[in-house]
Chain A
C-alpha cells in the first residue's frame, strides 16, 4: 500500500509494463532452462569456416547448389564451397578413429538434419567421408 502510494499513476503504469516484459522474457527463455534437446553440432577440424557461421547455417544449401552447378555444367573445380570441403573439415570419428558415414547418427550433416527432419539425398551418390587420396593405378601423363 505504501509502495503504490509513493508512485504516481504514470510510474505505476511503467512498472507494470516492465513487470510484464520481464515475465515474458523469462517465459520465452524457459525451454533453455528446461533442457530441450538442441542439435549437438560436432566440432570441426579447422579454425574458421569458409563463411561466417550464422551465414552458413542459413545459406549452406545455396552455396552447395551453386558450386554443384558450376562444377557439373561448367567444369569449375574450385574447392571453397564444395561438398567434399565440408566433409573434410566436419568429419566425425568413431571409437576406432575412423570417419563415420552418413549411416551414423553422429555424422555432421545428420546432427542437424535429423533434428530438423530435413532429408538430404546428396549421399545417394556422393561419398560422405573425408577425401582420401587414391593411389594412382597407372601413371597419368599430362595431355
Chain B
C-alpha cells in the first residue's frame, strides 16, 4: 500500500488525526487565496502596454466628453482627427471630393433644447459600444471589437457591403468611394472599405492619447481606462453625472457625455 493510500485511509478512519487537519489547513489556504486574488488584481496599477503585448480585456478604453466645456463652432478635434488619420485631403484627380462622398470619422453636433432653449455643442464619433450592432451584422467578421473595447474595421476582410453603416445608431461610419490618393503611414485607407473612429488605436497602443483629446484646448475630452478604478476618467465618471447617447439601445457605449 502506498503512502498516499494510507493517508486516504487514515482520513476516513480517524477524522481528528493530523493528516486531516493538514488537509483542512491546505484547503482553507487555497480557498483564501482564490478569494483574495481578485482583490489583489483590482488594486494592481495599470501598466503601459508594450509593443509585443496584445490588447487586454482587463482594459476598457473610454471617453468622457464635457459638453459644458465644448465650444460651439470650434472644430479643433475634428480637424486633428482628419489630420492624424489621413482623411483631411480627400481628392479625386486633385479636386476636392463633393460632400456626399466624403468620409467623416467625427462630426460636431449642435443641439438646442426645445423647451429650455439651452444650446450644447458636442463631438460625435464611433461610440465604441460594449455590444456593437455593427459587429453583429458584419457578414465577413471584418467589423470587430478588440479585447480592450475598441471597435474597428479590419479592411483586409471588409467587402464594402455597408451593413454596419446601416446598423450603427450613431451614423459613425463612412464608406470610401474613390481611390485614396494620399497614403498615410499610420492609418492605411482604401477604396471600397468602411471606416470609422479608431480611438487613434495606433497612438493608444503606444501609450498616447487620441488626436482629438490632445488637440482640445478646452480639455473637454478625457480618455482613459474605465476598468481601472484609479484612472482619472474612472474617478470623474464616479463623481459627475454623465450619460451615453441613446443609452436606451443598450449598446453600452464607451463614450460618455457630461452635461447633456
> Which of A's residues lie within 8 Å of B, judged by CB?
68, 70, 72-79, 84, 123-128, 131-132, 134, 137-143
- Stretch from B123-131, B132-140, B179-187 that touches the partner: B179-187
The B interface, classified by DSSP as helix, strand, loop or mixed, is loop
Does B206 contact A132, Cβ atoms closer than 8 Å?
no
Does A134 contact B186, Cβ atoms closer than 8 Å?
yes
What is the CA–CA distance of A125 and B157 in the complex, to the nearest angstrom?
Answer: 13
A-B contact count (CB 8 A): 82
The A interface, classified by DSSP as helix, strand, loop or mixed, is loop
What is the CA–CA distance of A97 and B184 in the complex, to the nearest angstrom?
Answer: 21
For this complex, 10 residue pairs linking A to B, each with C-beta atoms less than 8 Å apart, are: A68-B156, A72-B154, A75-B54, A77-B51, A125-B155, A125-B183, A125-B188, A137-B211, A138-B211, A140-B203
Is B45 an interface residue when CB atoms closer than 8 A count as contact?
no
Does B51 contact A142, Cβ atoms closer than 8 Å?
no
Neighbour of B154 across the interface among A73, A126, A137, CB < 8 A: A73
Does B209 contact A78, Cβ atoms closer than 8 Å?
no
Does A125 contact B190, Cβ atoms closer than 8 Å?
yes
Is B67 an interface residue when CB atoms closer than 8 A count as contact?
no
- Provide the residues of chain B in CB contact with A142, threshold 8 Å: 207-209
Min CB gap A33→B, angstroms: 43
- Provide the residues of chain A in CB contact with B201, threshold 8 Å: 75
Is B12 an interface residue when CB atoms closer than 8 A count as contact?
no
